[in-house]
A and B are shown apart, each in its own frame.
Chain A
Amino acid sequence: MRAKPILLMTAHRLAILAYIAFALFPLYWLLKVAVTPNDLLYSEGIRLWPSRATLDHFDFVLRHSAFPTFFKNSLIVSGSTAVIVTILASLSGYALSRFNFRGKYWLVALMLLTQMFPLVMLVAPIFKILSPLGLTNSLTGLVIVYTAFNVPFATFLMQSFFDGIPKDLEEAAMIDGATQFVAFRQIILPLTLPGIAATLGFVFTAAWSELLFSLMLISGNDQATFPVGLLSFVSKFSVDFGQMMAAGVLALIPACLFFLLIQRYLVQGLTAGAVKG
């Protein structure tokens, strides 16, 4: 009788280990090829770790390629998007959390709708609208587009954080003579700081990952964000696997940092965004 629980426990741990291996293996391989010297890449094809590791590929990518520019552009775009979205979403999320107003139902319906329809539909019309304004091939154009795409989901996320803060707090402040906006800014926002950090993280990750609109809207190397730069690098120099994967590892870093930041809020974020992934 005692063998059964031990057997079950072992099976459970092994299953967990299998999942971890499946989740990490591709990333491990990315790192492995990135540190494999070129002369060993083909001779030691499927060894799990090269007999000799090198950081040459990282060195090359950082010093002799356009990747630092791509990295900087992506950082500017994702950072600005995250900040602007968080400001707008904390305002609209507050409205949804604290007020009952005419049209609220329609506002929520509109925001849900924007989460449902295929964004790829907007590729062509947005290009046509932005092009005469000089906002194609421009980081500003990308920031505007990404901000609009992420506001609805961030609004629901912020709303869920505001809902967790008791209403009495503002009411007490307003009895003491503060206006609602002052109460919002000085009492509620500071209490929502973890929620604000989570929203920043979610939006940053989403903007960092966006591919189709950056491919469509950006054409020059100077304004290219990381995905655009990496894909054009792949199609041009598809034999420099070491360098491509070193660049890939670099693209992974900010995403992983933000993942650590928002890990605690994943459930809230995924249920608020539901369709956002």
Chain B
Amino acid sequence: MAYVARQDGLHARRPPLMKRIADGAAPYLYSAPALILIVTVMLVPLALGVSYAFRDIQLLNPFSGAFIGLDHFRALSQDQAFYRALRNTLWWTGASVFLQFLLGLILALLLDKPFYGRGLAQALVFLPWAVPSFLAGLNWSWLFNPVVGPLPHWFYALGLMSEPSNILSDPQLAMWGPIIANVWWGIPFFAITLLAALQAIPRDLYEAASIDGAGPVQRFLSITLPFLAPTIAITILLRTVWISNFADLIIVMTNGGPADRTQIVASYIFTQAFKRLDFGYASAIALVLLALLLAYSMLIVILRQWLLSKD
């Protein structure tokens, strides 16, 4: 590279062969360790998992392992628990993403204007993001527990409950437990990304708009929202995939119960693999989930391309 800087015009010497090989190999050498690790620990197991979906693999049964074709998928199509898990996944993802986004957007708007103590307020409201998910789950399940938690007593005092009871053991309400924990835990994520986007909006636009007589609502609708739209779209799309796969809170708080009312597809896969040690069936469910998410992800890839081409 040294003489590249010195060369003038097209007539410079070509670099010696060894150097060209070394230069050409450099980026591959830099990325090789990461690539090898990703391939061996993620891609190979992924391929293996796909093959398990067509095999009878049970950890405790040494005679299992035979190819059984589409048997798992036939069983799956009859599995009411799976359909329930699919519906629960939609409910869990939809409610969590919607509430996280709405509350996150409001928080970002509140934090966007300067005020005394903003740095501290920001650190405090973003703190839940740093809480490990298993602890967030345990923490909220304790808050919902009438023995040590205040929430049932408060709900009772407000007349929302006929007696202080645990909503996590109420089949009708149980899903709200993990959803509330998830909203608490995920608001910072939306608030942080939206706040960053808000602060990139040129301030003079707002001034110009107020001079022209635009009210706060009008300014929000015609300046803030259009500027935020790409960030909002991509964050919601990515977050939807992530949350639909996010089983930690459910595993910790309800383990899918009561009566499978909080079982989502991801926690159902984990339960099949971890409790029943039926790796074949777990992989078959996982493959279906993957296909659904793949269809959804194509949408994100297209959107990403579109956004990149716009810049």
Contact = CB atoms under 8 A, between A and B. Distances in A.
A123 interface: yes
Interface stretch (B10-18, B75-83, B141-149, B202-210): B141-149
Nearest to A271: B193
Interface residues of B, number: 95
Contacts of A122: 42, 45-46, 49
A77 interface: no
B247 interface: yes
B133 interface: yes
A55 interface: no
Contacts of A53: none
Contacts of A71: none
Contacts of A92: 30-31, 33-35
Contact of A256 (B34, B35, B130, B149): B130
A164 interface: no
Contacts of A144: 37, 41
A242 to B, nearest CB: 9
Given A27-B139, A209-B132, A120 B270 contact: yes
A125 B142 contact: no
Interface stretch (B117-125, B168-176, B218-226): B117-125
Interface residues of A, number: 94
Contact of B269 (A41, A120, A244): A120
A226 B266 CA distance: 22
B274 A255 contact: no
Contact of A101 (B27, B121, B140, B187): B27
Contacts of A94: 30
A221 interface: no
Contact of B115 (A12, A124, A277): A12
A248 B131 CA distance: 10
B86 to A, nearest CB: 14
Contact residues of B: prevailing secondary structure: helix
Interface in B19-44: 24, 26-28, 30-31, 33-35, 37-38, 40-44
Given A23-B126, A256-B130, 17 more contacts: A26-B140, A27-B127, A107-B35, A117-B290, A118-B293, A121-B46, A121-B287, A123-B269, A124-B49, A127-B59, A127-B279, A128-B57, A128-B279, A209-B133, A211-B133, A212-B274, A258-B130
Interface of A: 12-13, 15-16, 19-20, 22-24, 26-27, 29-30, 33, 41-42, 45-46, 88-89, 91-92, 94-96, 98-99, 101, 103-104, 107, 110-111, 114, 116-129, 144-145, 147-149, 151-152, 155, 171, 174-175, 177, 180-181, 205, 208-209, 211-212, 215-216, 226-227, 230-231, 234, 241, 244-245, 248, 251-252, 255-256, 258-260, 263, 266-267, 270-271, 274-277
Interface of B: 1-2, 5, 24, 26-28, 30-31, 33-35, 37-38, 40-46, 48-49, 52, 57, 59, 106-107, 110-111, 113, 115, 121, 123-136, 138-140, 142-143, 147-150, 153-154, 184, 186-189, 192-193, 195-196, 234-235, 238-239, 241-242, 245-248, 251-252, 266, 269-270, 273-274, 279, 282-283, 286-287, 289-290, 293-294, 297, 300
